[in-house]
Amino acid sequence: MTDDTLQIQPAPQPSGPVTDVAPSPHLADSGQTTRAMMVDVLVALIPVVCSALYFFRWHAVRQMAICLAVCLAAEAVFSAMRGRRPPLADGSAAVTGIILALSLPATAPWYAAAIGSLVAIGIGKSIFGGLGMNLFNPAMVGRAFVMISFAGALGAAGYQDPQSQIDIMTRATPLTAFQQSGVVASLADLFRGSTNGSLGETSALACLIGGLYLCLRRTAAWRIPASMLAAATVIALLDTGLSPHGWTVLHHLFGGALLFGAFFIATDPVSSPLTHRGQMIFGAGIGAWVMLIRIFSGYPEGVMFAVLLMNGFTPLINRWTIPTPFGGRLNR
């Protein structure tokens, strides 16, 4: 080509509205934001919070107030230390706080709740680089820390407070009662939630309502609770089939933290796998571990350990379950 072809035409821009340029896609689903997801989780927790308030009264208020306050404060402080504007706006610290509070016994001392919250945000999340970067479920990291540090106050025996004004708090948790003395709780109590236990776990009904809401809204990946409950059911069937002892499959499902864990803890997106197949493996793994811990270990309940364990496997599961793309794999 000749030289005169290289001249650039000046752009005659008529006056009028200023338009910008940006790469495609030019639209985004405005209804879907991280904050909206977190708000959805908080909405789904309403029935659980209500049941906790109904059965444990001011113990529940106290626990939630402490955890919420410390989690929010810790989040603000840690993100300021890392030179980020406090991302409290995304609501994730509030979710961690409430879930941690609901996973503690009513009897837990104030410092256990506070330290648990601090550890949840500090070690569970900020150390990894904040929201989205953590490997483990922050609330469960906090809970595991205080459970090990204050084994007396938070162990199975710690749930019981013989002096309490609230009747259910004077009793052992259904799982402990069964493990230690073979007492089988009534299914109606387990379903309604009028038993001792961690604040949020006692009412199967409340967990189911909130959990189904989360799944229907697609905020939670339904495959995780579904596969977790399926795996737990299978093992429970084997267990009760091999040695009938009155603690039925439904007792296994409605008792302890299985439902609360399935819908609210295992479904934490950050620490669970991305792919559908991965989510099934992850859920099934948790369900299996919970049942193995319940049946074969000295602990009456194992949701927390099972979740943390499978969280550790999440990166591997993601790697194992890379989906086959449309049209098959490229021949490399």
Partner 1 sequence: MSWFGSRSGGRGTFARGIHPPANKQFSSGLPIEVVDSPERVVLPLQQNVGGPCTPVVKARQKVARDELIGKGEAFVSSALHAPVAGTAERATMITLANGRHMQAIAIHAEGPQVEGQDLWDDIFGGHWPKDCVGIYDPQQIHEAILDAGIVGLGGAAFPTHVKINPNTRKPIHTLVVNGCECEPYLTADDQLMRQAPDAIIAGAFLAGYAVGAERIVIGVEDNKPEAIASLRAASGRTGIEVAVLKTKYPQGSEKHLIKAVVDREVPLGGLPADVGVAIGNVGTMAAVARAVVRSRPLTHRVVCVTGAGVVRPKNLLVPMGISVGELIDWCGGLTADAARIVSGGPMMGFAVADRATPVTKGTSGITVLVKSDLEIEASGPCVRCGRCVDVCPMGLVPTKLAQAARTGNLSLARRHNILACFECGACAYSCPAKIPLVQWIRAGKALAARHQGR
Q: Does 6 bind partner 1 (CB under 8 A)?
A: yes
Nearer to partner 1, 10 or 152 (CB): 10
Q: Does 325 bind partner 1 (CB under 8 A)?
A: yes
Binding residue for partner 1, selected from 160, 164, 240, 318, defined by CB under 8 A: 318
**What is the spatial distance between Cα 60 and Cα 52, in angstroms, rounded to a whole number?**
6
**Which parts of 149-208 interact with partner 1 (CB under 8 A)?**
none
CA dihedral 177, 179, 181, 185 (to 10 degrees): 40
CB 113 within 8 A of CB 149: no
**What is the spatial distance between Cα 141 and Cα 119, in angstroms, rounded to a whole number?**
7
Structural element, H or E, at residue 184 = none
Nearer to partner 1, 238 or 322 (CB): 322
The radius of gyration of the chain from alpha carbons, rounded to an integer in Å, stands at 24
Q: Does 327 bind partner 1 (CB under 8 A)?
A: yes
Binding residue for partner 1, selected from 3, 4, 163, 244, defined by CB under 8 A: 4
Q: Which two tokens stand for residue 4?
A: 């005169």
Nearer to partner 1, 6 or 188 (CB): 6
Cα 303 off chain centre by: 10
Q: Does 276 bind partner 1 (CB under 8 A)?
A: yes
Binding residue for partner 1, selected from 132, 182, 246, 312, defined by CB under 8 A: 132
- Taking the complex as a whole, the smallest distance from the CB of residue 94 to partner 1 amounts, in Å, to 15
Q: Which two tokens stand for residue 135?
A: 């490997």
CB 174 within 8 A of CB 190: yes
Q: Does 90 bind partner 1 (CB under 8 A)?
A: yes
- DSSP label at residue 27: -
Q: Does 85 bind partner 1 (CB under 8 A)?
A: no
- Taking the complex as a whole, the smallest distance from the CB of residue 189 to partner 1 amounts, in Å, to 36
**Which parts of 214-253 interact with partner 1 (CB under 8 A)?**
221
Q: Does 109 bind partner 1 (CB under 8 A)?
A: no
The number of CA neighbours under 13 Å toward the Cβ of 260 is 34
Nearer to partner 1, 149 or 321 (CB): 321
Residues near 329 by beta carbon (within 8 Å), at least 6 away in sequence: none
CB 97 within 8 A of CB 117: yes
Sole window of 125-133, 170-178, 251-259, 280-288 interacting with partner 1 (rule: CB under 8 A): 125-133
**What is the spatial distance between Cα 161 and Cα 90, in angstroms, rounded to a whole number?**
37
- Taking the complex as a whole, the smallest distance from the CB of residue 129 to partner 1 amounts, in Å, to 8
Q: Which residues bind partner 1 (CB under 8 A)?
A: 1, 4-9, 11-14, 16-30, 32-34, 36-37, 87, 90, 92, 130-133, 221, 269-276, 279, 318, 322-332
